């Protein structure tokens, strides 16, 4: 019997892959293989987010046959499927707990990527689709952004990811459109409460402590 232990959710995308994609793009080098590698890894991750988000809110896909089994969030409730597979919601929940895979308010953006990626044809289409998603954020408040969608997509802590996105390479040869996305991102992050908190924390921090923060993954 297919067991819940066999469920493997697609992992978040490695930072070095995306860093390399932007470094090459800034030089005008089109590495279609790398673009596809990143795009399909993001697609797999978005599909995992879709499945987990549905499960989280009451509609779990059977680990064996993918049929939808409804539940009410009770951890001891048994999810039994017509195919014979059976598990508890608690066990199912453990397969994704702490893995940043519940979509939350950015869920429509991940779903939009699942629609958009298969329709991309040129390397530019693909680059723009990737670029838009990793610079998306869920929710807006006080004129700034909520939590970055990148937290669900790319390995790292939120603080590390903000820095990672800030450090991506751009140049005159970058794909047309990506620098506009970057400018919007910069404008949005300046007003975000987490960005303000970070700036205040940095100001208050001693130089030695600041260096420690810089070297942290
Ligand atoms: Zn089933």
Cα 112 to ligand 1 centre (Å): 27
Cα of 80 from ligand 1 centre, angstroms: 8
How high is the pLDDT of residue 199? 63
Q: What is the chain's mean pLDDT, rounded?
A: 87
pLDDT at 204 > cutoff 80: no
> Which segments of 31-172 are extended strands (E)?
59-61, 68-70, 78-80, 86-88, 137-141, 144-148
Predicted confidence (pLDDT) per residue in 40-53, tens digit: 999 999 999 999 99
Which of 61, 49, 50 shows the shortest CA–CA distance to 92? Answer: 61
pTM of this structure: 0.84
What are the boundaries of each domain within the chain?
4-215
d(CA 77, CA 6): 20
């Amino acid at each position: 019997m297919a067991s819940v232990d066999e469920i493997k959710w697609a992992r978040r995308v490695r930072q070095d892959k995306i860093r390399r994609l932007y470094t090459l793009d800034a030089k005008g080098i089109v590495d279609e293989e790398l673009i596809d590698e990143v795009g399909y890894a993001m697609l797999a991750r978005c599909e995992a987010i879709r499945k987990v988000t549905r499960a989280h809110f009451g509609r779990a896909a059977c680990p064996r046959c993918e049929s939808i089994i409804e539940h009410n969030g009770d951890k001891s409730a048994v999810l039994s499927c017509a195919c014979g597979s059976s598990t508890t919601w608690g066990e199912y929940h453990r397969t994704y707990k702490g893995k940043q895979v519940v979509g939350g308010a950015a869920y429509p953006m991940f779903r939009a990527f699942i629609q958009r990626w298969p329709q991309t044809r040129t390397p530019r289409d693909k680059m723009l689709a990737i670029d838009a998603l990793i610079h998306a954020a869920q929710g807006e408040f006080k004129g700034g952004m909520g939590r970055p969608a990148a937290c669900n997509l790319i390995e790292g802590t939120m603080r590390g990811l903000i820095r990672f996105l800030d450090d991506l390479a751009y140049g005159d040869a970058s794909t047309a459109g990506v620098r506009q996305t970057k400018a919007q991102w910069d404008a949005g992050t300046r007003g975000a409460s987490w960005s303000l908190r970070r700036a205040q924390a940095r100001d208050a921090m001693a130089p030695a402590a600041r260096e420690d923060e810089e070297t942290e993954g």
